[in-house]
Amino acid sequence: MLYRIGRSFFNRYPRLMTGLVGAVAKRVPLSVRHGKEFRETRRLLERSQWWSRARHEAYQLEQLQKTVAQAFEVSPFYRGLYGRAGVRPEDLQTLDDIRRFPTITKDDLRSHLEGMINPAVDRRSLIEFCTGGTTGPGVVIPFEESYRNRSRAFMWHLWENVGYQPHMPAAILQHRECPPEVNDGIWYEDKPSNALVLSAHRLSAKTIDRYVEALREHRPRVLIAYPSLAYLFSSYLKEIGFDEKLFDLVILGSETLYEFQRKSLEEVFQATVRIHYGHIESCTLFGYCEHSNVYHVQTEYGFTELLNDDGTPAAEGEAGEVVATNFGNRALPLVRYRTGDLAQPAAGTCECGRQYPLVEQIIGRKGDFIRTPSGATHSPILIEFLMDRVLLDGRDRFADLQIVQTQIDEILVRVVPGHDYHPEDVENFCRLLSRELDDEIAVSQETVAEIPRTDRQKKSLVVSRLDGP
């Protein structure tokens, strides 16, 4: 497969991200607040980040065997699945043996969730999160509190590795509501969290000075944001010719980060930009380190495979689907879960000395690509690029936009008009899009009041209704 690609990223951990900031600032030691699992995982990661590749693999095999055996034991779904495939947990003697076991999909989760949940856990004590989904309804994933605390320890470890320190003053630019009676709803100070919360809703060319004022007054050292909002913010700052260092560090999550966005953020904020990748399903976690913009696959978190369509591992330069097995979610073992995300492995090891497998880039979700009748595949970065060109001189023209591929030769552009909307903006956009797709696809448009979000966490720019990969 040939993709037009750019460095990009998904992360669906918003609750954990902001939760960490709040927890630290309340000055209750995290180890007390988040219990034994948190402490033990922190201790493990302190050591394991310096393990050899062989030691990581031995740990992975041990955990993988445990997860597969547990899935087989507690879940009629897995017993049936493995029975039909003619495999048993004891067949798993090397890491490569895992490829004999069938993969599972989100559709399996939707249809067989009850048969997958461990009947031995107390259902009333479980915490549940709903996954997003552009291709259907989300799925509720149950966790024990201890598993969530384990995940927190991983996130905390990754944040620390990129320079986040406890009690560091932060600015948060996500989709948190600001009380309208305080500072005209533009910002408020969340004192317990030691954070300046900035409104995403009020951010515009007209209000940008107020944001700058608040940031100058509070001097947060880190910006915690969604990539699209951080980029929007940097664009407004650029427009007013702002040239002042606002943050040391920008930590992003929950959406794709495109290369042009990362460059703009580094330039405008004069800060280090870091991002992590994970899912609500909590099977896999990748993070940047202090030295590089290459993802390190956290091998203690779960077992991650990057697979070609024929099930073989993707080589360097190829794009493989992220297929992952969780370690330690006793409530719901997920073995070889197909995430639908495509990632590109990188060879070698990082200069930081850690021996984790590396991922060069996350290039999108399978359903997020546009295909043309002649067989070309275009990643959503194309759309971002075109939007950038159309919106050069103003950001209030489209309040929202989505591309839906309804047929191999038909695309619908849905637009929610912004304050400065003119019909020629969308016509211009459609014309550019059609040209980029070599005029092989008919591009039509509709203006709508709102774009329905089936995915709670991530904004999907492209929705493909075509079957197959």
Residues that bind Zn ion (CB under 5 A): 289, 291, 350, 352
Query: What single-letter DSSP state applies at residue 443?
Result: E
Residues sharing a CB contact under 8 Å with residue 317, sequence separation 6 or more, in sequence order: 344
Would you say 26 or 291 has its CB closer to Zn ion? Answer: 291
Closest of 369, 396, 397 to residue 381, by C-alpha: 369
Rounded to the nearest whole angstrom, what is the least distance from the CB of residue 353 to Zn ion in the complex? Answer: 7
CA distance 266 to 362: 20
Would you say 195 or 289 has its CB closer to Zn ion? Answer: 289
Query: What single-letter DSSP state applies at residue 206?
Result: T
Decide: residue 148, CB within 10 A, 0-12 exposed, 13-18 middle, 19+ buried.
Answer: buried
Strand 3-4 versus strand 377-378 pairing type: parallel
Would you say 274 or 414 has its CB closer to Zn ion? Answer: 274
CA distance 123 to 175: 31
Rounded to the nearest whole angstrom, what is the least distance from the CB of residue 275 to Zn ion in the complex? Answer: 14
Q: List the alpha helices (DSSP H) in 162-247.
A: 208-218, 227-239
Would you say 307 or 350 has its CB closer to Zn ion? Answer: 350
Would you say 241 or 348 has its CB closer to Zn ion? Answer: 348
Rounded to the nearest whole angstrom, what is the least distance from the CB of residue 44 to Zn ion in the complex? Answer: 18
Rounded to the nearest whole angstrom, what is the least distance from the CB of residue 348 to Zn ion in the complex? Answer: 11
Rounded to the nearest whole angstrom, what is the least distance from the CB of residue 167 to Zn ion in the complex? Answer: 25
Would you say 352 or 416 has its CB closer to Zn ion? Answer: 352
Rounded to the nearest whole angstrom, what is the least distance from the CB of residue 350 to Zn ion in the complex? Answer: 3
CA distance 422 to 445: 14
Closest of 369, 266, 323, 279 to residue 2, by C-alpha: 369
Return the beta strands (E) in 308-434 as ranges. Answer: 320-326, 337-346, 358-365, 370-371, 377-378, 398-407, 410-417
Rounded to the nearest whole angstrom, what is the least distance from the CB of residue 338 to Zn ion in the complex? Answer: 27
Return the beta strands (E) in 124-163 as ranges. Answer: 127-130, 140-143
Would you say 158 or 411 has its CB closer to Zn ion? Answer: 158
Rounded to the nearest whole angstrom, what is the least distance from the CB of residue 295 to Zn ion in the complex? Answer: 9
Decide: residue 468, CB within 10 A, 0-12 exposed, 13-18 middle, 19+ buried.
Answer: exposed
Rounded to the nearest whole angstrom, what is the least distance from the CB of residue 291 to Zn ion in the complex? Answer: 5
Would you say 170 or 289 has its CB closer to Zn ion? Answer: 289
Two tokens, residue 162:
């990129």
Would you say 294 or 391 has its CB closer to Zn ion? Answer: 294
Sign of CA dihedral 263, 264, 266, 267: positive
| 3 state DSSP class of 378 | strand
Rounded to the nearest whole angstrom, what is the least distance from the CB of residue 351 to Zn ion in the complex? Answer: 6
CA distance 55 to 356: 11
Two tokens, residue 312:
């073989």
Q: List the alpha helices (DSSP H) in 34-103.
A: 35-48, 53-74, 76-85
Would you say 291 or 465 has its CB closer to Zn ion? Answer: 291
